[in-house]
Structure 1
């Protein structure tokens, strides 16, 4: 059985069994849940683990004992797992030896014939078509015979290796971002637990010691004594507060099924918030109209940056911190809305509290229902927690906020990379894009695509008279770009476009097409942004937009985007914003000297205006 795919010239169609060993996993013991089979040193990968692996199995939820291994099989690292029941045709390549049950098929590639990563990418492309072959009635499933009937298109091994390398570099970065985010989450939770559960800084001071890893100014905010409270011993001066005294807790207004649309403003339920809480992208299944959204927002508000949504029916307690880019509404009853902080803005404190063992226990204690569990607004309001001083809240926020921002930036970058990978995948496997040799980055092609795709605010004006007399932000010149007319640049538009292409959710990857080859993806081209735009591309964009005589290099461009993004347009506010942005981009931040020199340069070429402590982007310059 072949699929209706364009097969490039020189490619062949083969069965999976022609390329290596194909066999079902083993789980011979009955009953399968016998306790003595589990809890040992041998990883036991199940269908859910494969589905969650995103192509590479890096973790598992169960292990086999020696007895478990004896009735199963330990498959080698590099085995491709293929699910054949429940989650159909999901695939993941083992990154370590592991066992799996007979609901998973293992493919061990003959390395002289195929690249297992290439074969896994073919499976991704064909997944929906394979799923259509599912034969189960109660629970969909496929079998070895189904796979044996399928013909897979493959090129020569050298071409397989090139395609797998290009797509694999994207997946490598996605998995690296995932691992970094796991570390960031652990760091945030460790700090929360130390400060607000174990009270380590207080206990250190009680012992006459300096709190570990804490500067003297922060340590001075913590008391030196624990006192009794209704929640046990807590630091002196801290309070036991009910959640309702810290925030408003509400639900959404009712949206009826007849109002659901296939496009518009996303409408989320518990399943979407659960996926977002895991750092996954979401493709909305339901929308409402823009008019209905605005009506609901005007009457009762809509989720905004810093709000928290909690899954409240069925799967309970998953939390999502709303981002500044989010625009959606949500289903009443399924989700609970934490908003309108009453004293201090403490979203990170509350997010970490909900994730902590203390928070999870509190949520567990207020669940109601047996068939389908739920939590209520009333019960949430009544939860009590240890509440520190405002100064400690502020210090915790300042410490944790960069971790959250980096976490969110990594998620956005991974989504962009996944979109690029999924765009390239069918093009590479159909021969629409060919990889020649090592792959050369055609920077000029990418620059031209970006300039055509985006509005950088560049316009030609033929007469000097078109410039208003005394207009703030114009540079008057004679010659081609002066009195005889010239090309003018709207600075706000230009910087907004620069912000777009240098941000984690930038569009560079979406339009780069076949210019995305191995040099970029392997990191051999210098990276300057939290997307995959090379330094040379960004420099050429700046030259094309602002002109050769007013060169704006990549670090100047990031500073301009910092000025654009900063809520506080003072020197201190912009200094803080650029430090955050460069940190997100994994670049060294500007020190005061470089910051000052860059601002003075940008002012000298007419892009910004420095007025005391305040910085403003100018309106327009003549490109020169």
Structure 2
């Protein structure tokens, strides 16, 4: 059996040292029943319920944050077989079949959705090794050859059981996994940092443009008989998250920052007025995206049967890739000729893209580089001062936009629906101040995305060399206990 598995691995383009053995994943399981799919019928989202890991929660082989979707205790009990205890390995069955997640202590008590297989291994220490092997090109080739593509690419449990895995001696295995771990840990840290940055940016957006907290802070002071100066100070406290005592200290220690807070607070009015969307700050307006953008366009696709239009230098975004909040690179690229001879348009960086069709309808992303997109994407090229406002408002409006989608076969939006979507917009001077306030967060966000792409490329280039024994690891100190 081991010889047959080695032959299959070589046929898939892989090569491993002769002293390594091969075993099927089934042979590595704790028992025959130690692999199963997750929750098939999760029901509706239950506040405070059991977190449910879905394929969309898997990013670069990890779960960067606690899942938003939760199942009831009754559903969790019904699917207790896949309730997580901290020693399992998860393998995605759809989306990106074969991607793995190592279950950590933080995930104990969670459950997994049906699009994930839950595995319990005889030796939980093998999880890291198994994950990295499944990332390799030979493994991906073997997985792709087994995929059922009737509706979408799907891996089933039988195929997982039969996959052959090269197994080196423990000391070699630990050395190899430690090299890749260092790269993966940095990628996970970047992802978690980006989750925090996104949360902070959205929190500021919500405070300023949804809850109108600086405006209401001013109004509360004035209604209680306070002075205009006290009202400005109250707004500064809301904007900065600092108490009046801390603001006084800031004025002494960093007068420039204090002055910037003062100028920002001054831009907020101290009254609310009625509008078609309810009460809004005085001087603000109910707008739509067409008012805040220089141009709004849908994308296009060059002819697939024209070879000269494809595999060029121009990044070409598909609606499925809009799931990534920031896009730096794309799976497919077209040529300049393909761009010129199709309805695709080249959009500048800082364009917000909203997906119009299918499962991602309503979702939004930010372009970190200039690129074009297919016809299932709508590009919002913002006025400079509204770049971050348009991006964050689009992310916040994704559910509302998705609810406007229609279609019997799949949910569809169109450019008209998007450009006429109503929202409450501040004057341009406050939008400029918001842009200045969060621009460093957005830049850091993009930097981390870019670094993760480079780290993933480094990992993927090292993996075949490590698996083939091409890289000599004898100089590395063994960490085997």
Partner residue of 2:127?
A: 116
**Superposed counterparts of 1:128-527, under 5 Å:** 128-134=141-147, 140-144=154-158, 146-208=159-221, 209=231, 210-211=234-235, 212-214=238-240, 215-247=261-293, 248-252=295-299, 255-259=302-306, 261-266=309-314, 268-277=316-325, 282-284=330-332, 287-293=333-339, 302-314=346-358, 315-323=360-368, 325-326=369-370, 328-332=371-375, 334-339=376-381, 341=383, 345-356=385-396, 359-360=397-398, 363-364=401-402, 366-438=404-476
Worse-superposed segment, 97-106 or 310-319? 97-106
In 2: Cα distance, 1:352 partner to 1:38 partner: 26
In 2: Cα distance, 1:231 partner to 1:40 partner: 31
CA drift of 1:39 comes to 7.1
CA drift of 1:156 comes to 1.7
SS at match of 1:321: strand
Distance 1:295 1:92, change over 3 A: same
Query: For each residue in 1:219-271, what CA deviation from the matched residue of structure 2 results, as whole angstroms up to 9, or x when unmatched?
Result: 11111111112221111122223432332222346744444544113463543
Maintained 8 Å contact 2:301/2:342? no
Query: For each residue in 1:483-507, what CA deviation from the matched residue of structure 2 results, as whole angstroms up to 9, or x when unmatched?
Result: xxxxxxxxxxxxxxxxxxxxxxxxx
How many pairs were matched up? 423
In 2: Cα distance, 1:81 partner to 1:438 partner: 30
Distance 1:420 1:196, change over 3 A: same
Partner residue of 2:257?
A: none
Query: For each residue in 1:257-300, what CA deviation from the matched residue of structure 2 results, as whole angstroms up to 9, or x when unmatched?
Result: 4445441134635435414436585321xx43324436779xx9
Q: Which runs of 5+ in 2 are unaligned?
A: 222-230, 241-260
Query: For each residue in 1:156-209, what CA deviation from the matched residue of structure 2 results, as whole angstroms up to 9, or x when unmatched?
Result: 212211111110111111111111111111111111111111100000011225
Distance 1:39 1:12, change over 3 A: same
Q: Which runs of 5+ in 1 are unaligned?
A: 440-516, 519-624
Partner residue of 2:247?
A: none
Maintained 8 Å contact 1:221/1:391? yes
**Superposed counterparts of 1:51-130, under 5 Å:** 52-57=58-63, 59-60=66-67, 61-63=69-71, 65=73, 68-69=76-77, 71-73=79-81, 74-83=83-92, 88-95=97-104, 96-97=107-108, 98-100=110-112, 104-110=117-123, 114-125=125-136, 126-130=139-143
In 2: Cα distance, 1:382 partner to 1:371 partner: 24
Give the structure with higher Rg (CA): 1
Worse-superposed segment, 20-29 or 225-234? 20-29
In 2: Cα distance, 1:17 partner to 1:252 partner: 46
CA drift of 1:84 comes to 5.3
RMSD: 3.5
SS at match of 2:311: coil
CA drift of 1:218 comes to 1.2
In 1: Cα distance, 2:304 partner to 2:162 partner: 42
In 2: Cα distance, 1:15 partner to 1:194 partner: 54
In 2: Cα distance, 1:21 partner to 1:270 partner: 41
In 1: Cα distance, 2:62 partner to 2:337 partner: 43
Maintained 8 Å contact 1:27/1:72? no
TM-score, length basis structure 1: 0.60
Distance 1:70 1:217, change over 3 A: same
Structure with bigger helix share is 2
Query: For each residue in 1:53-94, what CA deviation from the matched residue of structure 2 results, as whole angstroms up to 9, or x when unmatched?
Result: 432345444435156335532343131123457864332211
CA drift of 1:435 comes to 1.6
TM-score, length basis structure 2: 0.76
Maintained 8 Å contact 1:227/1:234? yes
Maintained 8 Å contact 2:38/2:112? no
CA drift of 1:35 comes to 5.0
Partner residue of 1:554?
A: none
SS at match of 2:354: strand
**Superposed counterparts of 1:532-543, under 5 Å:** none
SS at match of 2:30: strand
